[in-house]
Amino acid sequence: MVKLLIIIVGVVAVFWIAKLALRISFNLAAARSPYTLKRDQEQDTVEDADWFGKTGLDDATERELPRYLRRELGEYLDEPGCLTAADLRYLGIHTDARGSAHFWSMPARHNEQSFAYAQLDDNGEVVCLGWGDWQPAG
């Protein structure tokens, strides 16, 4: 009889712990910030651009570049006038004293021309993404 009571108490305890865990996980999901929700939505959006598949970079890196730039610019894909992958114009790989990088021209903002880049190491692997006034030589 005592064993049966212990088993019943154990089952009830497991049930309530599971219920509490579910409630906490749902509350955490509901409490996610608008920023996180928008960035997650953006991560799930598949953009299209004529330069995708033509740079020699892997698909994940190509698709991350416009997302990275929007994060840097404080923009969201669902905002009018935000930067999109199609706004970028691929310029190829260029090398100067700073090293080699894939370059894209970005639309001018505030009458200022900027370039996006994927900097490469000596093995041709992407080290980092960036943007600014580093531009292709020539």
Can you give the pLDDT of all 138 residues of the chain as single tens digits? 767 667 776 666 666 676 766 666 665 656 678 878 877 887 788 899 999 999 999 999 999 999 999 999 999 998 999 999 999 999 999 999 999 999 999 998 888 899 999 999 999 999 999 999 898 886
Q: Residue 69: CB partners within 8 Å, gap ≥ 6?
A: 83, 88, 106, 116, 131
Structure tokens that stand for 34 in this block: 């608008």
Q: If DSSP codes are grouped into helix, strand and coil, which group holds residue 137?
A: coil
**In sequence order, what are the beta bridge partners of 126?**
120
pTM metric for this prediction:
0.72
Please name the residues in contact with 70: beta carbons below 8 A apart, sequence gap of 6 or more.
Answer: 42, 76, 77, 82, 83
